[in-house]
Amino acid sequence: MRSPRHATTRSARTAPREPHRAGRWRSRALRACVIAAGGVIVFATAAVAADAAPQNRTVIQGPLYSVADGPLCGGVMSLLAAPSTTRAKATSIQLTGGFFGISGTTAPCLVGVTIQWRNRTTGEAGAEHGWVAGTMIPSTITRLMHAAPVTGSGVVELNLQPHRPYLPLPPVRVQVP
């Protein structure tokens, strides 16, 4: 049998624990409700902010590996596209390249490129043509291609195609306001 001292100690320990456990349960339930309400507010605010915020953003594609003009030239190209800040309903396109090899002249390796664009919302389409040149060692851009075609508002899909053999990349999409 247990001593009376042991029984008192036990009842003294259990007496404070019961309200404490109930308080802990209430505290956890209250905390869960606050977190759930906060999550609902955050998601609702994010949905409203996403609708109100413009979808403009910069898209970068690359590296696209390509052979360049010359007996032993090859390298990479990167495409940067964004809605134009200077022309309404236009897409700003910038293409850079870095090549390594022997061009056959004193000039660095260069390659002709075509960027085909298509507005998936309106169906308008077009192409931009240019040249890209640059060296990898040392890393310098000697010729970059820049264009700002009026593509119209909507989702514009861009496809980069060098005039020499290359490893293709999927088209990129830009939202133009």
What backbone torsions phi and psi does residue 13 show, to the nearest 5 degrees? -75, -40
* Whole-prediction pTM: 0.64
pLDDT beyond 90 at 140 = no
DSSP label at residue 109: P
Average pLDDT over residues 47-64: 61
Q: Mean pLDDT, the chain, as a whole number?
A: 77
CB-count burial class (<10 Å; 0-12, 13-18, 19+) for 124: middle
Collapsed DSSP state (helix, strand, coil) of residue 85: coil
Separation between Cα atoms, residue 177 and residue 52, nearest integer Å: 13
* 8 Å CB contact between 97 and 86: no
What backbone torsions phi and psi does residue 96 show, to the nearest 5 degrees? -120, 160
* Sign of the alpha-carbon torsion through 73, 74, 78, 79: positive
Separation between Cα atoms, residue 105 and residue 95, nearest integer Å: 23
**CB burial string 31-67: b at 16+ within 10 A, e below:** eeeeeeeeeeeeeeeeeeeeeeeeeeeeeebbebebb
Separation between Cα atoms, residue 129 and residue 116, nearest integer Å: 9
pLDDT beyond 50 at 39 = no
Collapsed DSSP state (helix, strand, coil) of residue 158: strand
What radius of gyration do the chain's Cα atoms show?
31
Instruction: For 78-103, write each residue's pLDDT tens digit.
Output: 999 999 999 899 999 999 988 888 87
Average pLDDT over residues 154-176: 93
Bridge partner list, 156: 119, 174
